[in-house]
Structure 1
């Protein structure tokens, strides 16, 4: 969820690499901050390291993340679902060719739609 009241510039300066921070500062109204933030979250969660790895120790500007920074090569994807939601996911490169499907529905029929998609 995109919270517009977050001081994106200050967070970018503190937690992002210099190049990532410069991109956010160059266009502060864009969704670039949330794209970078969600990509960093995806990398950390995929590797199960949480915030023990400093966010500025690796860069997520490309779809491939350096193994030196986080332990194994990953492939990243980001999708801006609406003006308020950005989602990113990371997978080991050996699984990168797997497909991702989105299922949207109201609360009453979500299970049936998931079963139908499988």
Structure 2
């Protein structure tokens, strides 16, 4: 079982798994993928911040498909993973989630698994 951590420069996408570093560009955003040791959420935020970046915001199907495609190419045998993205709960309501740019999760694209986030 592999553990993955997801964050995005312009955004910083950091995926933690095996010790491999790559950059991928989608439009004007660059996604940094690091596979290595597992870290906690705050360490992921700090790693992005140290690169002048933020955790990934998955606000379009294009971004989600792009990132998932890159992750599958890096580790095709992984069937599930843990990702940290730039989304935080600010209250206990079902709509109490906010992206790290201040926008609400209800304003735009959301493609969550059932009963998520």
Structure 1 and Structure 2 fold alike (TM over 0.5): no
Higher relative contact order (CA 8 A, sep 6+): 2
Question: Which structure is larger by alpha-carbon Rg, 1 or 2?
Answer: 1
TM-score, normalisation: structure 1 = 0.30
TM-score, normalisation: structure 2 = 0.30
Higher helix share: 1
